[in-house]
A and B are shown apart, each in its own frame.
Chain A
């Protein structure tokens, strides 16, 4: 298996690299299939919880329909946990930005605007995005008692054609 002499390096690299990738694919997929708690490789609703693994929090989840109903009834404040740049380029209408990476800096402003009893729904983007869970857990730790997580909120909201806004 040693480096072959007399053959061009790029050709060897390509051939061996391809074989290494194939071997890694075969081993990893087999192990994932055999092991208990292997990750689902095709997207499914149940993959959300599995992929978030130990990062899951105790905050309840809201479904798309529940989020829509609460939005229309003005029954909740939406909290966008994504970075400010993403929030500016588009967010759920009326949502406030509380990025997970600058939570401590942004929290005081939020506390002056929202009652601790308000129902807050944290969201980010992507089935596996854990930013909403992190922000939800921190909100609860800072005295907000009614906090829920809207998994994959931004994508679901956009796909449903519900009101969005941009910030310049």
Chain B
């Protein structure tokens, strides 16, 4: 595959801005929860998906994982691993939100803020998560193509 177009300036900027946006989303999502694991545990429990003994562990670990993944994506380090985790987390969140919506559990999303002001809106939550998932997929695809493009360099010289 000819990957010269990937080296054009507009594509580079598009890739950079998509990656920074995705990283910022994860850092913002994790930040508030880092300091309030008890409240986050309550939100996870309200989803009624995880068994009780896993709720606190998820509430403690998930914010750090989100923040770490976000920081790595922002910094451009360990991108294959960070992007794979970001995409996986977004799929898990999408499934959790979809299950809650399907079961009629009208709960706070707990995605970015632990103290939302408005009423829960699952259409908005799901659309937003789907957008982030598309963004994650696009950044992953770009990284994959660039990575494979870099691998071909020795073969052509």
Q: CB-CB < 8 A to A31: which residues of B?
A: 64
- Is B81's CB under 8 angstroms from A17's CB? yes
Instruction: With both chains docked as a complex, state the minimum distance between the C-beta of B13 and any C-beta of chain A, in angstroms.
Output: 19
Interface residues of A in 1-41 (CB under 8 A from B): 1-3, 5-6, 9-10, 12-21, 23-25, 27-29, 31-32, 37-41
Contacts of A53 in B (CB 8 A): 36, 38-39, 41-42
Answer yes or no: B148 CB below 8 A from chain A CBs: yes
B91 to chain A, nearest CB (A): 14
B contact face: mostly helix, strand, loop, or mixed: helix
CA distance A35 to B140 in the complex (A): 36
Q: When the two chains form their complex, are residues A29 and B60 in contact, meaning their CB atoms are under 8 A apart?
A: yes
**Total residues of chain A contacting the partner, CB 8 A:** 55
Question: Cβ of B38 and Cβ of A50 under 8 Å apart?
Answer: yes
CA–CA, A129 to B45, complex, Å? 6
B68 proximity list for chain A (CB < 8 A): 20, 23-24, 27
Complex contacts, B104 vs chain A, CB 8 Å:
83-85, 99, 101
Residue in contact with B78 in the complex, picked from A5, A20, A32, A129, CB distance below 8 Å: A20
- What secondary structure prevails in chain A residues at the interface with B? helix
B60 contacts A41, CB within 8 Å? yes
Within 8 A of B (CB), among A118-161: 125-131, 152
A32 in contact with B60 given A20-B85, A129-B48 (CB within 8 Å): yes
The residue of chain A having its C-beta at the shortest distance from the C-beta of B83 within the complex is A13
From the candidates B55, B85, B148, B151, name the one contacting A128 in the complex (CB within 8 A): B55
The residue in chain B whose Cβ has the minimal distance to the Cβ of A52 is B42
How many Å lie between the Cα of A86 and that of B103 in the bound state? 8
Given contacts A29-B60, A39-B59, whether A16 and B52 have CB atoms under 8 Å apart is no
In the complex, chain B residues whose CB is within 8 Å of the CB of A3: 76, 78-80, 143, 146-147
Residues of A within 8 A of B (CB): 1-3, 5-6, 9-10, 12-21, 23-25, 27-29, 31-32, 37-43, 47, 50-55, 83-86, 99-102, 125-131, 152
Q: Which 3 pairs between the two chains have the least Cβ-Cβ distance? A: A16-B81, A101-B106, A53-B38
What are 23 A-B interface contacts by the 8 Å CB criterion?
Answer: A1-B77, A2-B76, A2-B77, A3-B78, A3-B143, A5-B151, A16-B84, A23-B68, A28-B61, A28-B65, A42-B53, A43-B53, A52-B42, A53-B39, A54-B39, A83-B103, A100-B106, A102-B106, A126-B45, A128-B45, A128-B46, A128-B56, A152-B52
